[in-house]
C-alpha cells in the first residue's frame, strides 16, 4: 500500500504535467503577424523602410524583410526585396537603386514554415531630379553643310551646369550618345555651329545641359540643309564691237556652295548653245572681261557667261551682238588725186598684192578689216612693206570728182583733192607753158611768161583725153591725162608727141 501511495505521489504530478503539455501543443501553427513601418529618409534613389513581427505564428521565422514595386501588392516573388534575418520584433531595410520622382508600393514580409505573411501596404515617392531647365531655338544660317543652333538654360537645377551644348542626328530625339557640340558651362544663352552636315538632309537637334543630377534636354527642333548650288553669273552687253572682235563682259555674283575654279564665256552663232567656243578668264567672283577674236564680219553672235565650281556650272543669261560689216572703200575713191596746187600725192588702187594707198611713192597696203567708217569718214589703216604705218581719213561730197583727205584725224586737217580725168580736166602745164580752158569751148595756150600764144576750140572729151582744134586751122591737139602727155596732129600730117605734162588741174 505504501508503495502504491508513493507511485501515486509521482504519477499524479507527471500526469498533471503531461496534461498541461498536451494542452499547449494543441495551439495551431499560423503565418507570422507583422506590420509595415513608415517610410523614412527618402531621397532621389533610396529610402528606409522596415516592419515589426509581433508573432511568429507558433513556428520559427525563417525570413523577413520588405518588398517593393511600382504596382500595388508587391510580393516576395519580386527581386526588389530585402532580407533581414529570422526573428520576431522590429527591423529596418534600406531601399536602393530607386528611380527619382517615382511612386513606390511597399510591404513588410515574414516567412515561417506555414507560409509568408505581409504587413500593411504603404506608399512613398522618391525625390525628383533637379535637372537644368533648357530650351532649344529654331536653327538659323542653314547651308548645305552647316547650321547655327541656339540653346538657353534658364535654371541650373541642382548645383551648377557643368556642360552644355547641342546634340543632333538624322533620327528623332538625339542624346549625348549621338553627335554633340559642347558650348561651355553655366546658365544663359549659347550658340554653336554644326558643320560637316550632309546636303539636302533632315536633322533633329536638342540643346542639353548637365548638372550633378544628370542631363536634361530642350525641345526638339528640325531643319533641312540646302542642296548643292552652282555659281550665279550675269552676262553684260558686249562692247568694242569691231569686224573680227568684240569685248565680252560678265560678273560672278555668287560662288554658290564652293569656290569658283573657272569662269569665262561661251559664244556661238547659234542661240542657247553651251557647246560653242569656250574662253576661260580666271576664277573667283566679281566682274571680268575678255576679247573675243577671230570673229566673222557682219555676223550675229550669242554669248553667255559661265562659272564652274566643284558643285556644278552656272550660266548667265544669253545676250547677242553683231560684228561690224566690212566697209569697202567706194569705187569712186579709186584713181589718182591731186591737191588744189596740182601736186599729185595720192593713189588709191589695187594690184596683184592687194589694195593700197600710195603717197610720195610709198605703198601702204590694207585689208578690208583695216577700213572703218567713223564720224562720216572712211578710216584706212595701211602698213608699208618696210613696216611703216599710215592712217588716212577720206570724205566725199556730192561731187564724185572731188574728195577731202586728212592724215590728222577724222574731224580736222582735211584738204580737197581733185581726180583729174579727160572729162574733168580744165588746165594742164608743161615745160614751155600751159593749156587752159577759158569760156565755153574756148582754150588758149600760154607761154612761160603767161602770154597767150595760140587759141583753140574744144571738139570733144572722153575718159582719158580732151581734144582741141587750132583756131588758125593748123591742126588738132590731144591732151592725154592718162599718159600725162600732149599730142599734135598737123593738118594733113601724122600724130606726134608734143609736150609731157607737169601738172593737171580741174580748175
- Specify if 22 maps to a domain: no
Q: Read out DSSP for 433-469?
A: EEEEE-STTEEEEEETTS-EEEEEEEEEE-SSEEEEE
- CA 485/CA 432 separation, integer angstroms: 13
Of 174, 73, 156, 79, nearest to 122 by C-alpha is: 73
The answer to whether residues 173 and 207 belong to one domain is yes
Can you read off the three cell numbers belonging to residue 288?
571680268
**Contact predicate 102/68, CB 8 Å:** no
> Parallel, antiparallel, or unpaired: how do β-strands 415-418 and 402-406 relate?
antiparallel
With cut-offs at 50, 70 and 90, classify the pLDDT of residue 15.
Answer: very low
- CA 444/CA 311 separation, integer angstroms: 90
pLDDT for residue 2 is more than 60: no
Provide CB contacts within 8 A for 10, sequence distance 6+: none
**Contact predicate 468/306, CB 8 Å:** no
The answer to whether residues 120 and 161 belong to one domain is no
Range of the domain at 57: 33-125
The answer to whether residues 468 and 386 belong to one domain is no
DSSP state of 209: E
Highest mean pLDDT: which range of 26-35, 72-81, 423-432: 72-81
Instruction: Tally the domains of the chain.
Output: 5
DSSP state of 229: -
| pLDDT tens readout for residues 108-147 | 999 999 999 999 999 999 999 999 999 999 999 999 999 9
The answer to whether residues 314 and 335 belong to one domain is no
Domain boundary among the residues 125, 145, 160 is at 125
- Specify if 464 maps to a domain: yes
The answer to whether residues 195 and 254 belong to one domain is no
CATH of the domain at 284: 2.60.40.10
- Specify if 97 maps to a domain: yes
pLDDT at 418: 76
Domain boundary among the residues 166, 192, 224 is at 224
Of 130, 81, 79, 141, nearest to 106 by C-alpha is: 81
- Specify if 13 maps to a domain: no
Domain boundary among the residues 63, 90, 125 is at 125
The answer to whether residues 268 and 311 belong to one domain is yes
| pLDDT tens readout for residues 45-83 | 999 999 999 999 999 999 999 999 999 999 999 999 999
Q: Read out DSSP for 321-376?
A: EEPPPP-PPPGGG-EEEEETTS-EEEEEEE-SS-EEEEETTEEEEE-GGGEEEETT
The answer to whether residues 397 and 369 belong to one domain is yes
Highest mean pLDDT: which range of 9-18, 47-56, 274-283, 377-386: 47-56
| pTM attached to this predicted model | 0.51
| pLDDT tens readout for residues 151-195 | 999 999 999 999 999 999 999 999 999 999 999 999 999 999 999
The answer to whether residues 440 and 496 belong to one domain is yes
Mean pLDDT over 322-348 rounds to 75
- Specify if 8 maps to a domain: no
With cut-offs at 50, 70 and 90, classify the pLDDT of residue 345.
Answer: low
Amino acid at each position: 500500500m505504501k508503495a502504491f501511495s508513493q507511485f501515486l505521489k509521482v504519477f499524479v504530478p507527471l500526469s498533471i504535467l503531461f496534461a498541461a503539455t498536451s494542452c499547449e501543443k494543441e495551439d495551431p501553427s499560423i503565418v507570422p503577424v507583422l506590420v509595415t513601418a513608415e517610410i523614412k529618409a527618402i531621397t532621389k534613389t533610396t529610402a528606409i523602410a522596415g516592419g515589426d513581427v509581433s508573432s511568429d505564428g507558433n513556428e520559427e521565422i525563417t525570413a523577413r524583410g520588405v518588398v517593393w514595386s511600382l504596382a500595388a501588392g508587391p510580393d516576395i516573388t519580386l527581386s526588389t526585396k530585402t532580407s533581414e534575418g529570422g526573428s520576431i520584433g522590429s527591423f529596418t531595410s534600406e531601399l536602393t537603386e530607386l528611380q527619382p520622382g517615382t511612386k513606390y508600393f511597399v510591404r513588410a514580409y515574414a516567412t515561417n514554415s506555414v507560409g509568408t505573411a505581409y504587413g500593411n501596404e504603404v506608399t512613398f515617392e522618391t525625390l525628383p531630379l533637379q535637372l537644368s531647365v533648357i530650351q532649344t531655338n529654331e536653327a538659323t544660317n542653314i547651308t548645305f553643310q552647316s547650321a547655327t543652333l541656339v540653346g538657353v538654360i534658364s535654371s541650373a537645377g541642382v548645383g551648377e551646369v557643368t556642360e552644355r551644348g547641342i546634340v543632333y542626328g538624322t533620327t528623332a530625339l538625339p542624346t549625348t550618345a549621338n553627335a554633340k557640340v559642347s558650348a561651355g558651362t553655366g546658365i544663359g544663352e549659347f550658340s554653336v555651329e554644326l558643320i560637316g552636315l550632309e546636303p539636302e538632309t533632315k536633322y533633329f537637334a536638342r540643346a542639353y545641359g548637365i548638372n550633378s543630377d544628370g542631363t536634361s534636354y530642350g525641345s526638339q527642333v528640325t531643319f533641312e540643309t540646302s542642296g548643292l548650288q552652282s555659281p550665279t553669273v550675269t552676262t553684260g552687253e558686249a562692247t568694242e564691237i569691231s569686224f573680227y572682235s568684240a569685248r565680252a563682259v560678265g560678273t560672278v555674283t555668287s560662288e554658290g556652295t564652293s569656290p569658283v575654279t573657272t569662269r569665262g564665256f561661251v559664244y556661238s552663232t547659234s542661240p542657247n548653245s553651251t557647246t560653242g567656243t569656250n574662253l576661260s578668264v580666271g576664277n573667283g567672283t566679281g566682274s571680268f572681261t575678255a576679247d573675243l577674236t577671230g570673229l566673222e564680219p557682219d555676223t550675229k553672235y550669242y554669248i553667255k557667261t559661265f562659272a564652274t565650281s566643284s558643285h556644278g556650272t552656272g550660266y548667265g543669261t544669253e545676250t547677242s551682238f553683231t560684228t561690224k560689216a566690212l566697209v569697202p572703200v567706194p569705187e569712186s575713191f579709186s584713181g589718182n588725186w591731186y591737191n588744189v596746187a596740182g601736186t599729185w600725192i595720192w593713189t588709191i588702187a589695187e594690184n596683184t598684192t592687194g589694195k593700197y594707198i600710195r603717197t610720195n611713192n610709198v605703198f601702204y597696203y590694207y585689208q578690208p578689216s583695216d577700213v572703218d567708217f567713223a564720224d562720216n569718214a572712211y578710216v584706212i589703216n595701211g602698213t608699208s612693206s618696210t613696216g611703216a604705218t599710215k592712217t588716212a581719213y577720206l570724205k566725199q561730197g556730192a561731187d564724185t570728182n572731188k574728195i577731202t583727205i586728212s592724215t590728222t584725224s577724222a574731224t580736222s586737217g582735211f584738204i580737197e583733192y581733185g581726180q583729174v580725168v579727160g572729162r574733168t580736166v580744165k588746165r594742164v602745164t608743161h615745160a614751155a607753158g600751159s593749156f587752159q580752158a577759158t569760156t565755153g569751148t574756148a582754150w588758149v595756150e600760154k607761154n612761160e611768161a603767161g602770154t597767150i600764144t595760140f587759141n583753140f576750140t574744144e571738139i570733144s572729151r572722153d575718159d582719158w583725153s580732151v581734144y582741141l582744134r587750132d583756131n588758125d586751122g593748123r591742126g588738132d591737139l590731144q591732151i592725154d591725162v592718162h599718159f600725162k602727155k600732149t599730142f599734135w596732129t598737123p593738118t594733113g600730117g601724122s600724130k606726134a608727141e608734143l609736150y609731157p605734162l607737169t601738172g593737171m588741174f580741174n580748175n
